C-alpha cells in the first residue's frame, strides 16, 4: 500500500469531521447552510486540512450530485494559461447538475500558477461567478495576485496543535489494530510539526515494520535523529567535551544516515534546551544559520557542523 492511500482513507468526509480548525469550519458550515459559497482562498502550511475542507464543503453542499458538480485540479501539474482557458473555463461555463445552486472548482497549489495564468483566471472568476465558485488553495497567499485575493474570502489555516493530531493518530491506530506507544506518538508529533498528513504517513511507515511503534522505530524510519541525542551532543560541546560531541555527531551522520541539512534544522529546534544565556543564544543561532546556508550551498556537512559545535564551546567559554 502506498503511503498516500492511508491519508486518503482517513480523510474527514464532512466539515463536522475536521479537527483543529474550529473557527474556519464554523464559517464554512454557515456557507453550506445558506447555500451561498463565495470564491475562497485557503492559505496555510501543508497538512492543515485545506484541501480536505474544500472537499468536505462540496460534499456537504451537493450530497449525491457531488461527483457531477465538483472538480479538483492541481496547478503544480499544469501551470500555464492553457489550463485556465481550456479545463477551468469549460467546467465553469456549464450549469450545475441537479438542484445544486452552482458548481465548485478547487484549484490546489494555486501559487504555482504563472502570472499570465492568474490574470486569465481572474477574468474567468468574474465571468462565470454565477455558475461556478472557485476555491484556490496555496501555501503562500502572497504569491496570489491582489486582483484575485480581492475577489475571494480568505481563510488562513494555522498549524494543527498536537492534541488534534494525537487524537486522530489514536483513532487510526485503533482502526488498524496498531500498538502505538506513548513515546512513539510523541515522536510522531515532534516530527510532524502540525502537519496532519505527515503524521499519518509516519504512522503508516512505522507500522509497516510489524513492531510496536516506539520512538526508536519512528526515528529510524523518518531519517531524523532522536532529539535527546542532539541535546546530549550540544551539551557535550557546551561543557567543552568536543571530542565526545564530535563522536556523537559522526554517529548520527554516518551510522543513522541523517542528512546534515535535516540535522542542523533539528539542532536549531533544540538550542533553547541547553541553558545558554540570551546573548550566547544570539551568537550560536547566527552560527547555526550560517552552517545551514553553507551546507545548502554544497559545503561539507561534517566540517560545517564540527565548526558549529566548536563555536558553542567558544561562546560558552
H helices of 208-241, where? 215-222, 227-238
- Indicate if the pLDDT at residue 4 is higher than 70: no
Total number of domains in the chain? 3
Most confident of 84-98, 126-140, 269-283: 126-140
* Alpha-carbon gap, residue 224 to 191, rounded angstroms: 8
Domain check: are 133 and 31 in the same one?
A: yes
- What pLDDT does 39 receive? 94
Domain check: are 110 and 57 in the same one?
A: yes
Q: What is residue 161's three-state secondary structure?
A: coil
How many percent of the chain have pLDDT more than 70?
A: 96
Domain check: are 190 and 234 in the same one?
A: no
- What pLDDT does 2 receive? 44
* Alpha-carbon gap, residue 288 to 308, rounded angstroms: 7
Write out pLDDT tens, residues 175-223.
989 899 999 999 999 999 999 999 999 999 999 887 789 998 999 888 8
Domain check: are 145 and 188 in the same one?
A: no
- Indicate if the pLDDT at residue 19 is higher than 80: yes
Domain check: are 195 and 232 in the same one?
A: no
* Enclosing H/E stretch for 108: strand 103-108
Spell out the residues 6+ positions from residue 257 whose beta carbon is closer than 8 angstroms to its own.
Answer: 223
Within its chain, how far is the Cα of 292 from the centroid? 21
Q: Which domain holds residue 34?
A: 3-156
What value does the mean pLDDT of the chain take? 89
Q: Looking at 179, 194, 222, which one is the last position of a domain?
A: 222
Domain check: are 148 and 29 in the same one?
A: yes
Write out pLDDT tens, residues 20-57.
899 999 999 999 999 999 999 999 999 999 999 999 99
Write out pLDDT tens, residues 47-78.
999 999 999 999 999 988 998 999 888 876 66
Q: What is the mean pLDDT of residues 85-112?
A: 86
The CATH code of the domain that includes 293 is: 1.20.272.10
Q: Looking at 222, 238, 269, which one is the last position of a domain?
A: 222
Place 79 in a pLDDT band, splitting at 50, 70 and 90. low
* Alpha-carbon gap, residue 256 to 214, rounded angstroms: 17
Place 316 in a pLDDT band, splitting at 50, 70 and 90. low
* Enclosing H/E stretch for 123: helix 115-127
Cell of 146: 491582489
Domain check: are 175 and 69 in the same one?
A: no
Domain check: are 97 and 111 in the same one?
A: yes
Q: Looking at 196, 222, 248, which one is the last position of a domain?
A: 222
The helix-helix angle for 182-192 and 196-207 (nearest 10°) equals 140
Domain check: are 174 and 307 in the same one?
A: no
* Alpha-carbon gap, residue 188 to 58, rounded angstroms: 31
Place 117 in a pLDDT band, splitting at 50, 70 and 90. confident
The CATH code of the domain that includes 215 is: 1.10.8.60
Q: What is the mean pLDDT of residues 252-272?
A: 90
How many percent of the chain have pLDDT more than 90?
A: 57
Domain check: are 208 and 251 in the same one?
A: no
- What pLDDT does 267 receive? 92
Domain check: are 129 and 13 in the same one?
A: yes
Q: What is the mean pLDDT of residues 265-273?
A: 88
* Alpha-carbon gap, residue 300 to 136, rounded angstroms: 41
Domain check: are 200 and 312 in the same one?
A: no
Alpha carbon distances (Å) from 280 to 52, 105, 180, 227, 260: 43, 52, 39, 21, 23
- What pLDDT does 234 receive? 93
The CATH code of the domain that includes 144 is: 3.40.50.300
Amino acid at each position: 500500500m502506498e503511503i498516500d492511500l492511508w491519508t486518503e482513507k482517513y480523510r474527514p468526509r464532512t466539515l463536522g469531521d475536521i479537527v483543529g480548525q474550529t473557527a474556519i469550519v464554523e464559517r464554512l458550515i454557515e456557507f453550506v447552510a445558506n447555500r451561498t459559497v463565495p470564491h475562497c482562498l485557503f492559505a496555510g502550511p501543508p497538512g492543515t486540512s485545506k484541501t480536505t475542507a474544500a472537499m468536505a464543503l462540496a460534499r456537504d453542499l451537493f450530497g449525491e450530485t457531488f461527483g457531477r458538480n465538483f472538480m479538483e485540479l492541481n496547478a503544480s501539474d499544469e501551470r500555464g494559461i492553457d489550463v485556465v482557458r481550456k479545463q477551468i473555463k469549460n467546467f465553469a461555463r456549464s450549469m450545475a447538475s441537479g438542484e445544486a445552486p452552482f458548481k465548485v472548482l478547487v484549484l490546489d497549489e494555486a501559487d504555482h500558477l504563472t502570472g499570465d495564468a492568474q490574470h486569465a483566471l481572474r477574468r474567468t472568476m468574474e465571468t462565470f461567478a454565477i455558475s461556478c465558485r472557485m476555491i484556490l488553495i496555496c501555501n503562500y497567499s502572497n504569491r496570489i495576485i491582489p486582483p484575485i485575493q480581492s475577489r475571494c474570502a480568505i481563510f488562513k489555516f494555522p498549524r494543527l496543535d498536537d492534541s488534534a493530531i494525537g487524537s486522530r493518530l489514536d483513532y487510526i491506530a485503533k482502526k488498524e489494530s496498531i500498538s502505538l506507544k506513548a513515546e512513539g506518538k510523541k515522536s510522531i508529533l515532534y516530527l510532524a510539526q502540525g502537519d496532519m498528513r505527515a503524521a499519518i504517513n509516519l504512522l503508516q511507515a512505522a507500522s509497516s515494520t510489524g513492531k510496536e511503534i516506539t520512538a526508536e522505530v519512528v526515528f529510524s524510519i523518518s531519517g531524523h535523529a532522536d532529539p535527546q541525542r542532539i541535546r546530549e551532543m550540544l551539551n557535550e560541546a557546551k561543557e567543552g567535551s568536543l571530542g565526545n560531541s564530535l563522536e556523537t555527531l559522526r554517529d548520527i551522520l554516518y551510522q543513522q544516515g541523517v542528512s546534515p541539512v535535516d540535522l542542523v534544522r533539528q539542532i536549531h529546534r533544540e538550542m533553547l534546551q541547553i541553558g545558554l544565556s540570551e546573548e550566547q543564544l544570539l551568537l550560536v543561532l547566527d552560527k547555526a544559520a550560517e552552517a545551514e546556508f553553507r551546507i545548502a550551498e554544497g559545503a561539507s556537512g561534517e566540517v560545517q557542523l564540527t565548526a558549529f559545535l566548536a563555536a558553542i564551546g567558544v561562546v560558552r567559554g
